[in-house]
Amino acid sequence: MVERPGVRLDRYVAEKYPELSRTQAQKLIADGNITVNDHVAKAGLKLHVGDRVNITLPPPPPSPLSPEAIPLNIIYEDNDLLVIDKPAGLAIHPAPGHPSHTLVNAILSYLPNLPDIDGSLRPGIVHRLDKDASGVMVVAKNSLAQANLINQFKARSVVKAYLALVKGHLTPDEGVIEAPIGRDPRNRKRMAVVAEGKEARTQYYVIKYVGNCTLVEVRPETGRTHQIRVHLSAIGYPVVGDSVYGVKSAYLSRQFLHACRLGFKLPSTGEYREFTSELLPDLEQALKDIA
Protein backbone atom coordinates (compact mmCIF):
# COMPACT_ATOMS: atom_id res chain seq x y z
CA MET A 1 0.00 0.00 0.00
CA VAL A 2 1.22 3.48 -0.88
CA GLU A 3 1.83 5.61 2.21
CA ARG A 4 3.16 8.81 0.62
CA PRO A 5 0.93 10.75 -1.81
CA GLY A 6 2.11 12.45 -4.99
CA VAL A 7 5.12 10.23 -5.78
CA ARG A 8 5.52 9.03 -9.37
CA LEU A 9 4.93 5.34 -9.94
CA ASP A 10 8.40 4.66 -11.39
CA ARG A 11 10.07 6.48 -8.51
CA TYR A 12 7.96 4.65 -5.94
CA VAL A 13 8.92 1.26 -7.39
CA ALA A 14 12.63 2.13 -7.52
CA GLU A 15 12.55 3.37 -3.91
CA LYS A 16 10.51 0.42 -2.62
CA TYR A 17 12.64 -2.16 -4.41
CA PRO A 18 16.27 -0.90 -4.39
CA GLU A 19 17.39 -3.87 -6.47
CA LEU A 20 15.48 -2.26 -9.37
CA SER A 21 16.81 0.88 -11.00
CA ARG A 22 14.38 3.57 -12.16
CA THR A 23 15.08 2.57 -15.77
CA GLN A 24 14.20 -1.04 -14.95
CA ALA A 25 11.03 0.11 -13.20
CA GLN A 26 10.02 2.16 -16.25
CA LYS A 27 10.53 -0.84 -18.53
CA LEU A 28 8.45 -3.09 -16.28
CA ILE A 29 5.69 -0.47 -16.27
CA ALA A 30 5.84 -0.04 -20.07
CA ASP A 31 5.61 -3.82 -20.51
CA GLY A 32 2.52 -4.01 -18.30
CA ASN A 33 4.24 -5.87 -15.49
CA ILE A 34 3.34 -3.25 -12.87
CA THR A 35 -0.26 -2.36 -12.09
CA VAL A 36 -1.93 0.15 -9.78
CA ASN A 37 -5.20 -1.00 -8.23
CA ASP A 38 -5.23 -3.86 -10.78
CA HIS A 39 -4.97 -1.46 -13.74
CA VAL A 40 -2.08 -0.92 -16.14
CA ALA A 41 -0.55 2.49 -15.46
CA LYS A 42 2.02 4.89 -16.85
CA ALA A 43 5.42 5.61 -15.28
CA GLY A 44 4.48 9.22 -14.52
CA LEU A 45 1.26 8.36 -12.66
CA LYS A 46 1.07 10.23 -9.33
CA LEU A 47 0.09 7.78 -6.60
CA HIS A 48 -2.43 8.27 -3.80
CA VAL A 49 -2.36 6.97 -0.24
CA GLY A 50 -3.78 3.46 -0.19
CA ASP A 51 -3.06 2.64 -3.85
CA ARG A 52 -2.12 -1.01 -4.41
CA VAL A 53 0.98 -1.47 -6.55
CA ASN A 54 1.54 -5.01 -7.85
CA ILE A 55 4.73 -6.12 -9.58
CA THR A 56 5.12 -9.22 -11.73
CA LEU A 57 8.74 -9.94 -12.60
CA PRO A 58 9.12 -11.72 -15.95
CA PRO A 59 11.55 -14.65 -16.11
CA PRO A 60 15.08 -13.54 -17.02
CA PRO A 61 16.16 -14.16 -20.61
CA PRO A 62 18.63 -16.96 -21.14
CA SER A 63 22.18 -15.75 -20.66
CA PRO A 64 24.74 -16.17 -23.45
CA LEU A 65 27.45 -16.27 -20.78
CA SER A 66 29.17 -19.52 -19.97
CA PRO A 67 31.28 -20.41 -16.91
CA GLU A 68 35.00 -20.94 -17.45
CA ALA A 69 37.36 -22.49 -14.92
CA ILE A 70 39.71 -19.51 -14.70
CA PRO A 71 41.55 -19.25 -11.35
CA LEU A 72 40.52 -16.37 -9.10
CA ASN A 73 42.76 -14.79 -6.47
CA ILE A 74 40.15 -14.00 -3.80
CA ILE A 75 41.26 -11.53 -1.13
CA TYR A 76 37.98 -11.46 0.81
CA GLU A 77 34.52 -13.01 0.57
CA ASP A 78 31.23 -12.76 2.45
CA ASN A 79 27.58 -13.40 1.58
CA ASP A 80 27.39 -10.18 -0.46
CA LEU A 81 30.61 -9.82 -2.36
CA LEU A 82 34.00 -10.99 -3.52
CA VAL A 83 37.14 -8.88 -3.43
CA ILE A 84 39.48 -10.10 -6.18
CA ASP A 85 43.09 -9.44 -7.09
CA LYS A 86 42.72 -9.24 -10.89
CA PRO A 87 45.67 -10.26 -13.05
CA ALA A 88 46.77 -8.22 -16.03
CA GLY A 89 45.45 -9.37 -19.40
CA LEU A 90 42.01 -10.43 -18.13
CA ALA A 91 39.11 -8.41 -19.52
CA ILE A 92 36.25 -7.72 -17.11
CA HIS A 93 33.30 -8.78 -19.29
CA PRO A 94 32.63 -10.11 -22.80
CA ALA A 95 32.75 -7.56 -25.60
CA PRO A 96 33.60 -7.48 -29.29
CA GLY A 97 37.11 -8.82 -29.61
CA HIS A 98 36.98 -10.96 -26.46
CA PRO A 99 33.65 -12.84 -26.27
CA SER A 100 34.97 -15.24 -23.62
CA HIS A 101 37.78 -15.84 -21.12
CA THR A 102 36.84 -12.80 -19.01
CA LEU A 103 36.48 -12.13 -15.30
CA VAL A 104 32.71 -12.60 -15.64
CA ASN A 105 33.22 -16.09 -17.08
CA ALA A 106 35.53 -16.92 -14.17
CA ILE A 107 33.05 -15.57 -11.60
CA LEU A 108 30.20 -17.60 -13.10
CA SER A 109 32.31 -20.73 -12.67
CA TYR A 110 32.92 -19.87 -9.01
CA LEU A 111 29.35 -18.62 -8.40
CA PRO A 112 27.11 -20.56 -10.81
CA ASN A 113 23.93 -19.07 -9.31
CA LEU A 114 25.01 -15.46 -9.71
CA PRO A 115 22.04 -13.62 -11.23
CA ASP A 116 22.49 -11.93 -14.58
CA ILE A 117 21.37 -8.56 -13.27
CA ASP A 118 19.67 -6.28 -15.83
CA GLY A 119 19.89 -9.06 -18.42
CA SER A 120 23.35 -7.72 -19.20
CA LEU A 121 26.67 -9.42 -19.79
CA ARG A 122 28.05 -7.98 -16.55
CA PRO A 123 26.50 -9.85 -13.61
CA GLY A 124 27.87 -8.61 -10.31
CA ILE A 125 30.16 -6.01 -11.88
CA VAL A 126 30.04 -2.63 -10.13
CA HIS A 127 33.25 -1.02 -11.44
CA ARG A 128 35.98 -1.77 -13.96
CA LEU A 129 39.68 -2.15 -14.42
CA ASP A 130 41.31 -1.94 -17.84
CA LYS A 131 42.13 -5.33 -19.35
CA ASP A 132 45.87 -4.75 -18.99
CA ALA A 133 45.63 -3.18 -15.54
CA SER A 134 45.96 -5.36 -12.46
CA GLY A 135 44.86 -5.16 -8.86
CA VAL A 136 42.01 -5.14 -6.41
CA MET A 137 38.35 -4.93 -7.39
CA VAL A 138 34.99 -5.85 -5.83
CA VAL A 139 32.22 -8.01 -7.34
CA ALA A 140 28.66 -8.22 -5.96
CA LYS A 141 27.08 -11.63 -5.30
CA ASN A 142 23.43 -10.44 -5.27
CA SER A 143 21.34 -7.57 -6.63
CA LEU A 144 20.94 -5.76 -3.30
CA ALA A 145 24.69 -5.73 -2.71
CA GLN A 146 25.26 -4.60 -6.28
CA ALA A 147 22.86 -1.67 -5.86
CA ASN A 148 24.52 -0.73 -2.55
CA LEU A 149 28.03 -0.78 -4.00
CA ILE A 150 27.02 1.09 -7.17
CA ASN A 151 25.49 3.81 -4.99
CA GLN A 152 28.74 4.07 -3.00
CA PHE A 153 30.69 4.54 -6.24
CA LYS A 154 28.17 7.14 -7.46
CA ALA A 155 28.45 9.01 -4.17
CA ARG A 156 32.27 9.00 -4.56
CA SER A 157 32.66 7.55 -1.09
CA VAL A 158 34.76 4.61 -2.33
CA VAL A 159 38.52 5.04 -1.85
CA LYS A 160 40.38 4.02 -5.01
CA ALA A 161 44.17 4.15 -5.17
CA TYR A 162 46.44 3.07 -8.02
CA LEU A 163 50.17 2.85 -8.57
CA ALA A 164 51.33 4.16 -11.92
CA LEU A 165 54.76 4.64 -13.45
CA VAL A 166 54.90 7.67 -15.72
CA LYS A 167 57.51 8.92 -18.17
CA GLY A 168 59.52 11.88 -16.87
CA HIS A 169 60.04 13.45 -13.46
CA LEU A 170 56.56 14.55 -12.39
CA THR A 171 56.44 17.88 -10.55
CA PRO A 172 55.07 19.19 -8.26
CA ASP A 173 55.21 16.11 -6.06
CA GLU A 174 51.47 16.19 -5.44
CA GLY A 175 48.54 17.76 -7.18
CA VAL A 176 45.04 17.50 -8.62
CA ILE A 177 44.19 17.14 -12.30
CA GLU A 178 40.77 18.54 -13.19
CA ALA A 179 39.86 18.21 -16.85
CA PRO A 180 36.65 16.94 -18.53
CA ILE A 181 36.90 13.62 -20.37
CA GLY A 182 34.91 12.45 -23.39
CA ARG A 183 35.33 10.60 -26.67
CA ASP A 184 38.27 11.78 -28.74
CA PRO A 185 36.66 13.49 -31.77
CA ARG A 186 39.59 12.33 -33.93
CA ASN A 187 39.43 8.70 -32.81
CA ARG A 188 36.19 7.39 -31.31
CA LYS A 189 37.99 4.38 -29.82
CA ARG A 190 39.99 6.69 -27.54
CA MET A 191 39.07 9.05 -24.74
CA ALA A 192 40.48 12.56 -24.45
CA VAL A 193 40.30 15.79 -22.51
CA VAL A 194 37.54 17.67 -24.35
CA ALA A 195 35.58 20.78 -23.39
CA GLU A 196 32.22 19.02 -23.73
CA GLY A 197 33.34 15.96 -21.74
CA LYS A 198 32.20 14.83 -18.31
CA GLU A 199 33.73 16.25 -15.14
CA ALA A 200 36.83 14.32 -14.10
CA ARG A 201 39.14 14.83 -11.13
CA THR A 202 42.31 12.91 -10.23
CA GLN A 203 44.68 13.35 -7.27
CA TYR A 204 48.28 12.19 -7.45
CA TYR A 205 51.20 11.84 -5.03
CA VAL A 206 54.79 11.20 -6.11
CA ILE A 207 56.29 8.17 -4.36
CA LYS A 208 59.77 8.18 -5.90
CA TYR A 209 61.73 8.84 -9.08
CA VAL A 210 62.92 5.75 -10.94
CA GLY A 211 65.47 6.50 -13.64
CA ASN A 212 63.79 8.98 -15.95
CA CYS A 213 60.35 7.94 -14.67
CA THR A 214 58.14 8.62 -11.65
CA LEU A 215 56.22 6.16 -9.51
CA VAL A 216 53.03 7.84 -8.34
CA GLU A 217 49.99 6.95 -6.28
CA VAL A 218 46.88 8.09 -8.14
CA ARG A 219 43.44 8.53 -6.61
CA PRO A 220 40.66 9.16 -9.11
CA GLU A 221 37.70 10.89 -7.48
CA THR A 222 35.49 10.33 -10.51
CA GLY A 223 35.26 7.17 -12.61
CA ARG A 224 35.56 8.12 -16.26
CA THR A 225 36.73 5.59 -18.83
CA HIS A 226 40.57 5.48 -18.96
CA GLN A 227 40.61 8.49 -16.60
CA ILE A 228 44.04 7.98 -15.05
CA ARG A 229 45.75 7.27 -18.35
CA VAL A 230 44.09 10.22 -20.12
CA HIS A 231 44.75 12.71 -17.31
CA LEU A 232 48.42 11.79 -16.84
CA SER A 233 49.00 11.92 -20.59
CA ALA A 234 47.24 15.28 -20.79
CA ILE A 235 49.69 16.89 -18.32
CA GLY A 236 52.69 15.47 -20.19
CA TYR A 237 53.52 12.44 -18.03
CA PRO A 238 52.08 9.40 -19.85
CA VAL A 239 51.88 5.96 -18.26
CA VAL A 240 54.84 3.75 -19.15
CA GLY A 241 53.87 0.80 -21.34
CA ASP A 242 50.56 2.35 -22.41
CA SER A 243 50.51 2.06 -26.19
CA VAL A 244 47.27 4.06 -26.53
CA TYR A 245 47.82 7.16 -24.39
CA GLY A 246 51.38 6.72 -23.22
CA VAL A 247 54.69 5.32 -24.39
CA LYS A 248 55.75 1.78 -25.20
CA SER A 249 58.43 0.32 -22.99
CA ALA A 250 61.23 -2.14 -23.58
CA TYR A 251 60.74 -3.34 -20.00
CA LEU A 252 56.99 -4.01 -20.01
CA SER A 253 54.49 -5.67 -22.34
CA ARG A 254 51.58 -3.82 -20.74
CA GLN A 255 50.77 -0.53 -19.03
CA PHE A 256 52.21 0.12 -15.57
CA LEU A 257 48.90 0.64 -13.78
CA HIS A 258 47.95 -1.29 -10.66
CA ALA A 259 44.92 -0.90 -8.38
CA CYS A 260 46.68 -1.11 -5.02
CA ARG A 261 43.90 -0.15 -2.60
CA LEU A 262 40.09 -0.19 -2.52
CA GLY A 263 37.99 0.94 0.45
CA PHE A 264 34.21 0.86 0.90
CA LYS A 265 31.44 0.00 3.38
CA LEU A 266 30.36 -3.63 3.52
CA PRO A 267 26.71 -3.75 2.36
CA SER A 268 25.68 -6.13 5.16
CA THR A 269 27.08 -4.22 8.15
CA GLY A 270 28.06 -0.75 6.98
CA GLU A 271 31.58 -1.36 8.30
CA TYR A 272 34.28 0.45 6.31
CA ARG A 273 37.02 -1.88 5.07
CA GLU A 274 40.08 -1.39 2.89
CA PHE A 275 41.68 -4.08 0.77
CA THR A 276 45.14 -3.95 -0.78
CA SER A 277 47.12 -5.61 -3.55
CA GLU A 278 50.90 -5.73 -3.89
CA LEU A 279 52.67 -4.93 -7.17
CA LEU A 280 52.88 -7.96 -9.43
CA PRO A 281 56.30 -9.44 -10.32
CA ASP A 282 56.39 -7.97 -13.84
CA LEU A 283 55.91 -4.45 -12.47
CA GLU A 284 58.45 -4.96 -9.69
CA GLN A 285 60.98 -6.21 -12.26
CA ALA A 286 60.30 -3.23 -14.53
CA LEU A 287 61.12 -0.85 -11.64
CA LYS A 288 64.45 -2.64 -11.11
CA ASP A 289 65.30 -2.65 -14.81
CA ILE A 290 64.40 1.02 -15.36
CA ALA A 291 66.36 2.13 -12.30
Q: Which residues are the active-site residues?
A: 130
Burial 146-176 (b: 16+ CB within 10 A, else e): bbbbeebbeeeebebbbbbbbbeebeeeeee
- Residue 32's φ and ψ, nearest 5 degrees, are 80, 15
